[in-house]
């Protein structure tokens, strides 16, 4: 078992633009209202970079900045672990269409943004972070793998970890195979030692036998939870919003090999 501590959280989804909105909806303080998702230009980037960055980078940097600001940590003092199945769906689709036609003239901007680590690269450069930056993919269990990686890195190093999971929809025809109809992104700031502004502790373990991740408590999350792998964070976010001081809760996050990654949260 590994214990890490949480100081910041960010969320962005249709109808839930930030953590304050998510917490209020989860706690029943306001109703969820379905809206079209609107990508926000990252203030972290310069004007030219904002114009060039794709949807996946906008989403990832949005939630990353939410979590960082809440944690009260400078970006340069964070290491990054970013998780996504395939990076940017629209760019992957356009690149494959270009390779299937003649002449094969790919947009230089698309080529620049086509790599899987584009989001963490934009973030690390803009934040001025010289610490480790990891971009990983593990299919529907990408968030579970990123949480395991982030916790191990937080405990083995001397800097907090910005963990960011994000997925954007694929356009036709790959949307049929990708099965990600709506965007969702979330970020956490994890520490190897208790920070002054701790939100919760997370005891992370691998358990054999259980194969089904925990589901959201609120029905309005069900659609995105079932179709967007980054949304595996939702049961954790719900417990953070609802748990009283002194309470604990166990969340099954996702598979890592033949084991289930579980998180025991405590306030």
List, in order, residues 6 or more apart from 173 with CB less than 8 Å away.
93
How high is the pLDDT of residue 204?
A: 97
Is the pLDDT reported for residue 158 higher than 90? no
Alpha-carbon separation of residue 189 from 50, 122, 145, 194, 245 (angstroms):
24, 18, 16, 12, 20
Q: Report the interhelical angle of 118-127 vs 55-71 (nearest 10°).
A: 40
Strands 161-167, 79-83: pairing kind = parallel
What structural domains and CATH numbers belong to the chain? 9-197 (3.40.47.10)
177 vs 261 pLDDT, higher one: 261
Instruction: Please state the rounded mean pLDDT for residues 16-28.
Output: 95
How high is the pLDDT of residue 108?
A: 84
Q: What 3-state class would DSSP assign to 212?
A: coil
166 vs 66: CA distance, rounded Å: 14
Q: Mind listing the pLDDT tens digit for each residue in 92-136? A: 888 888 888 888 888 888 888 889 999 999 999 999 999 999 999
How high is the pLDDT of residue 14?
A: 94
Per-residue confidence at 184, pLDDT binned at 50, 70, 90?
A: very high
Instruction: Please state the rounded mean pLDDT for residues 34-60.
Output: 89
Q: Mind listing the pLDDT tens digit for each residue in 226-248? A: 999 999 999 999 999 999 999 99
Is the pLDDT reported for residue 210 higher than 80? no
Instruction: Please state the rounded mean pLDDT for residues 57-81.
Output: 97
Is the pLDDT reported for residue 155 higher than 80? yes
Is 165:142 a contact under the CB 8 Å cutoff?
yes
Average pLDDT, the chain: 93
Is the pLDDT reported for residue 177 higher than 80? no
């Amino acid at each position: 078992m590994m214990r890490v501590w949480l100081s910041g959280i960010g969320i962005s989804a249709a109808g839930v633009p930030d953590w304050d909105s998510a917490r209020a909806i989860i706690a029943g303080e306001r109703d969820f209202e379905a809206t079209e998702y609107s990508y926000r230009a990252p203030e972290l980037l310069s004007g030219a970079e904002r114009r060039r960055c794709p949807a996946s980078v906008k989403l990832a940097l949005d939630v990353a900045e939410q979590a960082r600001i809440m944690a009260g940590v400078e970006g340069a003092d964070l290491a990054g672990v970013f998780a996504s199945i395939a990076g940017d769906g629209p760019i992957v689709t356009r690149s494959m269409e270009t390779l299937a036609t003649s002449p094969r003239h790919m947009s230089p901007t698309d080529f620049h943004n086509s790599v899987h680590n584009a989001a963490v690269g934009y973030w690390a450069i803009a934040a001025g972070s010289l610490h480790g930056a990891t971009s990983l993919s593990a299919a529907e269990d990408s968030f579970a793998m990123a949480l395991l990686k982030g916790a191990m890195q937080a405990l083995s190093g001397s800097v907090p970890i910005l963990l960011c999971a994000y997925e954007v929809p694929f356009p036709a025809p790959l949307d049929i195979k990708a099965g990600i109809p709506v965007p969702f992104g979330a970020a956490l700031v994890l520490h190897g030692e208790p920070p002054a502004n701790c939100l919760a502790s997370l005891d992370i373990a691998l358990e054999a036998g259980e194969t089904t991740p925990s589901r959201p408590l609120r029905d309005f999350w069900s659609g995105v939870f079932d179709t967007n792998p980054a949304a595996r964070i939702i049961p954790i976010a719900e417990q953070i919003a609802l748990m009283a001081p002194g309470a604990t809760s166990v969340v099954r996050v996702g598979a890592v090999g033949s084991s289930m990654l579980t998180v025991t949260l405590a306030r």
